[in-house]
């Protein structure tokens, strides 16, 4: 009878090394490390959005605090809407330092795939109190239609 020695199995050693590396990764990404700030900031989707649908439109609400309306770039290609822009950093006095910094700045781009074609000629956008509301009317040609059957 052969007794299996777990200490000599090469797969166990590989899994132990993987677990150690994963533990090291997450311990270095604690709340106070600069690498975790970058990791967490890049991991969030910006801008946060809600997508609604009523009878003839999709409505997309995007939160864009600190972004000016003329700095927002919207484009539609096929069934994809893209929101681009840049959130500029605050100008602070050089004697001021951050105690905590959670608000990010920089360029952003977010693409949203829509389940149906929209009428790109009649898209409307309104920006009020840091919330961008985009109204995308559905393309009437792509909706369901009745087809009559003819006889010979």
Per-residue pLDDT tens over the stretch 56-96: 899 999 999 989 999 999 998 888 899 999 988 877 778 88
Q: Give the tokens for residue 74.
A: 């919207």
**107 secondary structure, DSSP code:** E
Whether residue 48 contacts residue 62, with contact meaning beta carbons closer than 8 Å, is answered with yes
Per-residue pLDDT tens over the stretch 33-62: 555 555 545 556 788 899 999 888 999 999
Whole-model pTM: value is: 0.62
Whether residue 88 contacts residue 105, with contact meaning beta carbons closer than 8 Å, is answered with yes
Chain mean position to CA 110: 6
């Amino acid at each position: 009878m052969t007794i299996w020695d777990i200490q000599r199995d090469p797969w166990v050693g590989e899994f132990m090394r993987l677990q150690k590396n994963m533990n090291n990764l997450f311990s270095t990404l604690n709340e106070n490390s600069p690498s975790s700030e970058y990791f967490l900031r890049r991991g969030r989707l910006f801008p946060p959005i809600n997508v609604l649908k009523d009878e003839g439109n999709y409505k997309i609400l995007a939160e864009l605090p600190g972004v000016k309306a003329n700095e927002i770039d919207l484009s539609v290609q096929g069934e994809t809407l893209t929101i681009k822009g840049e959130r500029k950093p605050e100008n602070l006095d050089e004697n001021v330092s951050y105690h905590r910094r959670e608000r990010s700045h920089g360029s952003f781009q977010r693409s949203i795939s829509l389940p149906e074609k929209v009428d790109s000629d009649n898209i409307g956008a309104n920006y009020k109190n840091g919330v961008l509301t985009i109204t995308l009317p559905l393309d009437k040609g792509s909706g369901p239609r009745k087809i009559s059957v003819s006889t010979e």
